[in-house]
Structure 1
Amino acid sequence: MVHMKEVKIGGCACVLVLLFSGLVSCSGVFGSPLTDDVSTLDTLRENIPKDYKIRVRYISKDVGGTCWVYLNLYPAESSLKNLALKFGNHSANRENITIFITMLQGLRFTIDNEELESTMQAFKCHYQSARWSTRRYFDHVKEVLVTFTSTPHQFYCTPPPCPTPTAPPVKSDRRVLERAIPGVLALIIIPSLAAFALILRTVLRRKLCCAERRREHPDDVEPQSDPEASIDVSQNDSDSCSLNNQYRAQQIEDTGV
């Protein structure tokens, strides 16, 4: 058991030594320049298509101020991790990307993690998300790595006020309404015209059927009697009868019969 502990302690010591040496060479703590690994970014940029868009979360320099590089350390690391997943395990691009992920992690270990986390939380409302081209993306990563070497590791930043949400422009709403009105009118007018056409077609068919039936069977149509005419005829008959009776009575009186 003692031997196993010694082996573990020895292994941890080796890892720490390698990590410390990597940090010294990368961050320039003792005045040494940035390693030649940064030049690999140019090779990596050429291996990825230029029109490929890489998602990144960042804070601009005018907002981050002197804390700009620290506020972009972890977002750049997370973006590189997502980019590495796009390639296979044995891909050279993935191996090169892993190098810069390790470098950014080493830079974060040289500063106070709690202070960095609280500063990122204070600037949370100022982070932006975008999709950058390959060239712009790797230029951003390279700038973060190079700028860190000339920046003090103690930072005190006051975030500016959070941007107020802007109301959507009225013109866009009007455009939406203008585009929607023709569609609504079409939904109303087209079914109405179709229903009117069906009703008109049905009425015309019925009229044509009735006209054809009258032509085929003209005798079946009975003349309609006029009730007023019948009443006038009956009145004329009754008047004529009364006149005849009066005339006969007058004749009898004249003849003395």
Structure 2
Amino acid sequence: MELDNLISLKNASFKINNEFILKSISLNLNRGEIVSLLGDNGAGKSTLFKCLCGLNKFSDGEYYIKNNLINLKKYDLNYTKKLGLECVFQEYSLCIEQPIYKNFFANRHISKFGFIDDKAELLICKEILNNFLGLNGKGLDYKKDASHLSGGEKQGLCIARAIYFNNDIILLDEPTSALALNETKKVISYIQELKDKQKGVFLISHNLLTSYEISDKFIFLKHGKISCQIYKKDVKDVFSLYDLFNRFC
């Protein structure tokens, strides 16, 4: 396999009670690449997302993360995280009633003498979010609950967290859903920064305009199968992407 290959699926399927939800899925994700998973409701996008991150398990096929062959019977969310795969769910993956800096280090705290080092976590969180999100207002308090962040900032916090913990693969589930235009622009800039840092990104989105703007490749799903894979360079414009969506989804 190529050194730049982050994810490789070969004829992977997922079934429940002998009914196939996903069937014969083959795809690749490389460093510095953003791939949009496109499809109508019920096409299998979310199921594929959950199987990739370990919330569900593929029933058969071959699954490689950074050239590591995954045991389909044993892998889970914690295992994929250890291999550098981070999921950013539509619900932000945050505990909004907890302080911002504690969300940043959730389940991966800095310890000192056996205790959580709040001072170190606070300093690192402030530095990362200042540089990545541009959150540097004088009134900003990282000890405040994450509920004080805007929708775009919550998504940005999750993405910045993924970068800090050196994850090479980021899965984003509808990251701009229900966001205002300005917030959507912020999140798009965060995703583009992932590409600049040579991360690999799988993006689930219903927003074809956003997908066209930032993606390098499009994978269309229909009834649990890949109906088309095409690179952006082979798509004339966003109107052509809409035509492809109508044709293959």
Higher RCO, 1 vs 2 (CA within 8 Å, ≥6 residues apart): 2
Which has more radius of gyration?
1
* Greater percentage in strand: 2
Query: What is the TM-score with the length of structure 1 in the denominator?
Result: 0.22
Query: What is the TM-score with the length of structure 2 in the denominator?
Result: 0.22
